[in-house]
Amino acid sequence: MSEDGRGRVAVPIAALTDPDRLRALDETRLDAVPDEAFDRFARLVGDLLDVPVALVSLVDADRQFFPGATGLPEPWAARRQTPLSHSFCQHVVDIEMPLVLPDARLYPRVRLNLAIEDLGVVAYAGMPLTDLDGRVLGSLCAIDSKPRAWTPEQLRTLADLAAACSSELRLRIAVRGAEQARRRAEEAHDRLAMLAGMSEMLGGTLDVATAVDRLGHAMVPLLADWCLITLVDPAGRPRTVTGVHREAERGADLARFAELLTTGLSAESQIRSVLRTGRPAVRAVAGLDDVARGSTRPELVPLADRLGIGSHLTEPITAAGDRVIGAVTLVNRQGRRGFDDSDLRTAQDIGVRAGQAVGNSRLYGEQRHVAEVLQHSMLPTLPTVPGIELAARYLPVADRVEVGGDWYDAFVQPDGELVAAIGDVAGHDIEAAATMGQLRNLVRGNAYGRDDPVELLVAQLDRAMGGLRVPTVATAVLARIRPDGDGLRVSWCNAGHPPPVLVRADGTVSVAEGRGPLLGLARAPRRTGRTLVLAHGDTLLLHTDGLIERRDRSIDEGQADLLAHLRADGPGAPLDLLCDRLLAAAHRREDDVALLALRAG
């Protein structure tokens, strides 16, 4: 118990010091300053109940304060708070029920309260203000300076307003809780974002040296002041050591340090231990003695002194089957906190991602070799045919394999005529390339030595694909080119492919219209052939859709761009130069491109 300042004994109320209630009160972030939302509640109480004073009163362990108030006399209006000696609302907190007093001077609980004398509180009606857990934080109260019989309607109105006011308090608490949760989430997000970004960063290259460099720069200075990345040879010996330091001027020292480490690790080296056991190692406090014990090169010690060392952590880089292929070492200088378990967990994630990146690069190397062999077999050497100039290009868009589903072909029949073809199988991988090779061989085997019209050759190709169960649908143009006086007669059939483009020697450019259904449909369609004549100097361009298709424009716009380029460059340009210019103009390619151009010579 304590005195109220005028010799009166104040009986402490236990509910006021409840830590959970005080924590909730603190989370409202309200204090003895005006708050427009709660001032509005006070004005509503004053207007609807016709009272001179109305308060949104919150009660902590030693005072009450008013974020919402109307009608308070000075100096209380300016102070927006009173000691508990002047608080009726503390009793609402205590009893956790409404407190309704027609004349406070008649009630033993409050008749000695200094608010009666100093604030003129006579009639009082207070409704609890609660948080979501039902803890009473204060009171929404109506006050009159004379006795008053509160009506049921007035008390119901006050209770309704108190419920709305409580909702506003709960919202404030929720916002505060959300802010705290957001800060915690941001801390976790920064770590996750770094790891997620690292996965994307490492996945964005298939070159080991580039991946290692990106890995180092991602970790420094976010996780450490400097780092080392060690990769081993098949025998488990350090093959390369690279590093990144937060201070660019230390680059030469770090490069020398890394160079010496490849052959200068002693049996007590932490890095060597991690490479041997596959288990991480952490030294929360470290110094130059650790460097001296872990190396056989004395020069490493002064280098480490200049680089700075206060703690270090080494995590293995593991590939499939938990095989150790390297290690990541993080180093902090003195003055930065030592590494702990959270850093270790992050380093473990990094080790896994780094292992995946290195493994992917090795897989890519193998896949690239296979793709190069496939490409060599799929892209034919163009034949030499009297009276016909030929040029071709193939450019894949995917950087993970060197060949996709686009193809071209040109071969000479036994009678000396030329057969030309171009096509596209969906996909950008080795499977698409293999299917493409199967289809190209079908075209050759189906057409070679036969004098059938091109539409019959394509119809037979439909039947062959169905009978042999070639697992794809594809597009293609098949053309037969024969001498015709001083020029060439071209018979062609289009199976769902972009139409050929004709560039006349006088600069006229047009599209050879006529496109039939795709190859490989379940029910073989009827095929239609067409014929055109190339005069001396005329060019026929066959191409795949990668030359004209973009996600951000229509196919017609792409076709128009192609025709514009051909009008500008096509008539007199050598075929090889023409093909190179067309590929250069398609700088935003999103698909493989194959070109086959032939000109009447």
Domain boundary among 368, 395, 424: 368
d(CA 89, CA 93): 7
Q: Identify whether residues 419 and 560 lie together within a single domain.
A: yes
CB-neighbour burial class of residue 601 (10 A; exposed 0-12, middle 13-18, buried 19+): middle
d(CA 327, CA 242): 11
Q: Which of 37, 6, 121, 131 lies closest to 72 in space, CA to CA?
A: 121
Assess whether pLDDT exceeds 50 at residue 400. Answer: no
In a domain, 564, yes or no: yes
Domain boundary among 160, 176, 192: 176
In a domain, 389, yes or no: yes
pLDDT at 218: 86
Distances (CA, A) of 233 to 33, 275, 330, 435: 69, 11, 21, 37
pLDDT, tens digit, for every residue of 314-353? 999 988 778 898 999 999 999 888 898 888 888 888 888 8
Q: Give the pLDDT mean for 82-88.
A: 95
In a domain, 373, yes or no: no
d(CA 413, CA 481): 10
d(CA 199, CA 184): 23
Q: Which two tokens stand for residue 412?
A: 């000479």
Q: Identify whether residues 85 and 163 lie together within a single domain.
A: yes
Q: Identify whether residues 341 and 398 lie together within a single domain.
A: no
Please compute Rg for the chain using Cα positions. Answer: 42
Q: What's the domain range around 72?
A: 2-176
Residue pair 105/116 in contact (Cβ under 8 Å)? The answer is yes
Q: Which of the four pLDDT bands, split at 50, 70 and 90, describes residue 473?
A: confident
Rounded to 10 degrees, what is the CA torsion of 22, 136, 79, 173? 60
Q: Who's near 148: CB < 8 A, 6+ residues apart?
A: 102, 103, 122, 123
Q: Give the pLDDT mean for 352-380.
A: 69
Tell if the pTM clears 0.85, that is, is over it: no
Rounded to 10 degrees, what is the CA torsion of 190, 196, 202, 203? -160
Q: Which of 352, 213, 226, 351 lies closest to 286 in space, CA to CA?
A: 226
Q: Which of 48, 59, 63 lies closest to 15 in space, CA to CA?
A: 59
Q: Identify whether residues 131 and 216 lie together within a single domain.
A: no
Domain CATH number, residue 453: 3.60.40.10
Q: Identify whether residues 362 and 507 lie together within a single domain.
A: no
Which of 91 and 427 is assigned the larger pLDDT?
A: 91
Domain CATH number, residue 255: 3.30.450.40
Q: Identify whether residues 444 and 357 lie together within a single domain.
A: no
In a domain, 194, yes or no: no
In a domain, 32, yes or no: yes
Per-residue burial over 387-396, b = 16 or more CB atoms within 10 Å of its CB, e = otherwise: ebbbbbbbbb
Q: Give the pLDDT mean for 138-156.
A: 96
Which amino acid appears at position 71 of this protein?
G
Assess whether pLDDT exceeds 80 at residue 99. Answer: yes
Q: Identify whether residues 312 and 393 lie together within a single domain.
A: no
Assess whether pLDDT exceeds 80 at residue 450. Answer: yes
Q: Identify whether residues 78 and 120 lie together within a single domain.
A: yes
Residue pair 509/502 in contact (Cβ under 8 Å)? The answer is yes
d(CA 397, CA 424): 14
Q: Identify whether residues 364 and 387 lie together within a single domain.
A: no
Q: Which of the four pLDDT bands, split at 50, 70 and 90, describes residue 426?
A: confident
Report the interhelical angle of 208-219 vs 152-203 (nearest 10°). Answer: 140
Helices (H), 500-586: 555-569, 575-585
Q: How many CA atoms lie less than 13 Å away from 454 in the CB half-sphere?
A: 24
Helices (H), 448-528: 454-467
What's the number of domains the chain is made of? 3
Domain boundary among 312, 334, 368: 368
Q: Identify whether residues 226 and 98 lie together within a single domain.
A: no
Lowest mean pLDDT among 180-189, 266-275, 293-302: 180-189
In a domain, 183, yes or no: no
d(CA 143, CA 158): 12
Lowest mean pLDDT among 141-145, 157-161, 350-354, 585-589: 585-589
Assess whether pLDDT exceeds 60 at residue 398. Answer: no
Q: Identify whether residues 358 and 383 lie together within a single domain.
A: no
Distances (CA, A) of 135 to 74, 129, 131, 143: 31, 8, 6, 23
Q: Which of the four pLDDT bands, split at 50, 70 and 90, describes residue 211?
A: confident
Lowest mean pLDDT among 49-63, 110-124, 417-431, 500-514: 417-431
In a domain, 196, yes or no: no
d(CA 165, CA 160): 9
In a domain, 390, yes or no: yes
Q: Identify whether residues 291 and 154 lie together within a single domain.
A: no
Per-residue burial over 319-356, b = 16 or more CB atoms within 10 Å of its CB, e = otherwise: beeeebbbbbbbbbbeeeebbeeebeebbebbbbbbbb
pLDDT at 404: 66
pLDDT at 283: 92
Which amino acid appears at position 503 of this protein?
V
